[in-house]
Amino acid sequence: MSNDKSKQPQIDHAEDNAFFPSEYSLGEFTSEVSDLSDADYPTRHKGGKKILVIAADERYLKTDTGALFSTGNHPVETLVPLWHLHAAGFEFDVATVSGQMAKFEYWAMPRQDTCIMPFFRKHQARFQSPAKLSDVVKGLNGSSDYAAVFIPGGHGALIGLPESDAVADTLRWAIGNDRFVISLCHGPAAFLSLRNGDNPLQGYSICAFPDATDKQTPDMGYMPGHLTWYFGEELKAMGMNIINDDIKGSVNKDRHLLTGDSPFAANPLGQLAARELLAVYGN
């Protein structure tokens, strides 16, 4: 049983003083197979609209002990919502802040999943050779083909995205042009990029990974130390409302902003996003 497993973070030999989650944490919070229920979309989008994925491009997050957490984009939080959107007829492009390859938390990959793994392998090259986000921003206008901007979860979203002008410009374009913004778990940390200048998300309500839960994760060896700052506190300070205090797979829709609380929300957020986009871009 998972409670018999070690709570010591596991060593990542690819970097000095770097760690993966403990066996206990992996047993509690990851699964070899994803929940992909209710993914039948008989009326698919055929109008050529796409999703712009802003992926994390950093691997290591420093904790308060100085130890590094081996992170990136959470694969379930990335691939399950995209799987739904793709099933609903929407293609997607991938961009990172640096233009370097997207990083994944491979320790959370659902390796026995007969839907997600083939989907990942089919589209893996997009994550390995993404566009540079600032280059994408230059081409954004009111007639751009993107129906939504999707920012996956994973602690990698805490690195670089909150300080990126290109992320802020993309979010302002999306909200200003009635496009959808989709995010979950730690992905909403990217909204902090709006702190400098106009903040079109002020007053919006979201689901996100609770700070209180992040503060508990070192006790179970999920991380090798505590975070040095907490994105929920920062989002509240800039006028956003986080409506959940736990991780039960909750999702929320506030105008065109669609959010979820954790990996448990990946499937319901995918369902919500597909339905909402089809309601606007159904043909």
98 touches 131 (CB < 8 A): no
How many Å apart are CA 41 and CA 38, to the nearest integer?
Answer: 9
What is the 8-class DSSP label of residue 73?
B
Structure tokens at 244: 């959940």
How many Å apart are CA 210 and CA 171, to the nearest integer?
Answer: 22
Query: Which DSSP helix (H) or strand (E) runs through 268?
Result: helix 266-281
Residue 115 catalytic? no
233 touches 158 (CB < 8 A): no
222 touches 146 (CB < 8 A): no
Burial 16-31 (b: 16+ CB within 10 A, else e): eebbbbbbbbbbebbe
Q: What is the DSSP string of 89-157?
A: T-EEEEEESSSSPP-B-GGG--TT-TTHHHHHHHHHHHHHSPEEHHHHHHT--TT-SEEEEEE--SGGG
Residue with tokens 């990996």: 263
How many Å apart are CA 89 and CA 140, to the nearest integer?
Answer: 21
**Among 148, 185, 194, 278, the one annotated catalytic:** 185
Residues catalogued as catalytic = 185
